[in-house]
């Protein structure tokens, strides 16, 4: 029995650059279109989040009313790509209306920046 995987050429990406440790209230990152299916979140830390004591180096990604709807407490205290294996709340989420995406830095860090990228497809672009 063969397994077939179809990769669409219609995967899109949108990136918010230089998200800062100082964003301790929800910041609008971008708006995704109706029917978007979230394929992957990529958080690339360019300056480690640090300096805030015990509760440092995490961020949430979600909506204005639920800021951790998609990613909850992603650890951003080291430079590089963030492992979201334990913090991804809604893998392969699909939105039915245009949706504003927000992020918030948790804790009281005094340094840190990262780029936040969402890979997504439209409703019927990518078979799963």
- 58-99: pLDDT as tens digits: 999 999 999 999 999 999 999 999 999 888 898 888 899 999
Number of structural domains found in the chain: 1
Contact 37, 68 (CB under 8 A): no
CATH number at residue 30: 2.60.120
Identify the domain containing residue 34 by its residue range.
Answer: 12-121
- Residue 3: its pLDDT value, please? 57
Residue 5 lies in a domain: no
H or E element at residue 121: strand 111-121
From CA 117, how far away is CA 15, in angstroms rounded? 4
- CB-CB neighbours of 68 under 10 Å: 20
| CB of 104 closer than 8 Å to CB of 45 | no
The answer, yes or no, to whether residue 46 has pLDDT greater than 80, is yes
> Looking at the domain assignment, is residue 1 inside a domain?
no
Is residue 39 one of the residues assigned to a domain?
A: yes
Tell me the average pLDDT across 5-25. Answer: 82
**Tokens 């991804």 appear where?**
88
Q: Do the domain assignments include residue 128?
A: no
| pTM for the whole structure | 0.86
């Amino acid at each position: 029995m063969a397994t077939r995987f179809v990769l669409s050429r219609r995967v899109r990406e949108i990136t918010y650059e230089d998200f800062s440790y100082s964003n301790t209230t929800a910041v609008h990152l971008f708006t995704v279109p109706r029917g978007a299916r979230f394929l992957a979140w990529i958080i690339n830390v360019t300056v480690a989040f640090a300096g805030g004591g015990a509760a440092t180096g995490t961020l949430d990604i979600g909506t204005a009313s639920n800021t951790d709807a998609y990613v909850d407490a992603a650890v951003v205290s080291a430079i590089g790509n963030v492992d979201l294996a334990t913090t991804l709340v809604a893998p392969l989420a699909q939105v039915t209306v245009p949706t504003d995406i927000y992020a918030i830095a948790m804790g009281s860090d005094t340094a840190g920046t990262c780029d936040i990228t969402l890979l997504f497809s439209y409703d019927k672009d990518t078979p799963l």
